[in-house]
Amino acid sequence: MALILNIETATSVCSVALSKDGSLLALRESTIDKSHSSLITVFIQDIFSETNYSVQNLDAVAVSAGPGSYTGLRIGASVAKGLCYAADLPLIAIDTLAAMATGVQKKYPDVVLFCPMLDARRMEVFCGGLNKSGEYLLPAKAMILDSSSFDSLLSKYEILFFGSGATKFQPLISNNNAFFDSTFSCSAAHMIPLSIKAFGKKLFEDMPHFEPHYLKAYGG
């Protein structure tokens, strides 16, 4: 049995989910921009009150580790590490793009390749190409978009582009293998399948040296 607190602050969404044995128990989230620092601890307290659990009952804390907003990632990492230190809990780092791909898969069972995109200002995005098994065919990177950005992959695969950066790419491309979802939103609930898997394999972070995966010096 594993009770895990999942924290997602890598994007404009501030989201906290409590899971038990891979199932969602409670969720709090907000899309109010720049609200992470004021809401995250409130959400955690609300979830504990709703479920009658406390930090002492947790088996681990999982945090969305990037890429994403520099400020958001630092807030999430700071809160997650604080909880782990206070209650002597292991820390699990979840790849933000992998969690996004996990969250969108049920809606698109026939898509072969998923390309989550996070806005990194101007025409730049954080992105990666993942298959249904969560394996990267295109490594996570910061990319400046143009009309030929994914030509080689689109010649082989149908690709779903989604996330806050995908709307910048859609006007640049006309390819029958490219699909877009403009409604997707990040959520700590998408982390749950990955965090329970990591917990079972004891894939824990070395907390004193843990840093989010920024991909660049500043992502927003």
Q: Does domain 3-96+186-209 have CATH number 3.30.420.40?
A: yes
* CATH number belonging to the domain at 97-181, selected among 3.30.56.10, 3.30.420.40, 3.30.70.20, 3.40.47.10: 3.30.420.40
Contact predicate 160/111, CB 8 Å: yes
Domains 3-96+186-209 and 97-181 fall in the same CATH topology:
yes
Each residue's pLDDT tens digit, 109-167: 889 899 999 999 889 999 999 999 999 999 999 999 999 999 989 999 999 999 999 99
The residue count for the chain: 220
- Report, as an integer, the average pLDDT of 38-51: 96
Each residue's pLDDT tens digit, 161-213: 999 999 999 999 989 999 999 999 999 999 999 999 999 999 999 999 999 99
Residue 62 has pLDDT above 90, yes or no: yes
Residue ranges of domains in the chain:
3-96+186-209, 97-181
The amino acid at residue 48 is F
Least trusted range by pLDDT, from 44-53, 80-89, 146-155: 146-155
The amino acid at residue 32 is I
The pLDDT of residue 139 is: 94
**Environment class of 162 (CB within 10 Å of its CB; exposed 0-12, middle 13-18, buried 19+):** buried
Record the pTM. Answer: 0.94
CA atoms within 13 A on the CB side of 125: 22
Query: Rounded distance, CA 213 to CA 107, Å?
Result: 27
- Report, as an integer, the average pLDDT of 77-92: 97
Strand 60-64 to 3-8 pairing: parallel
Query: Rounded distance, CA 72 to CA 214, Å?
Result: 11
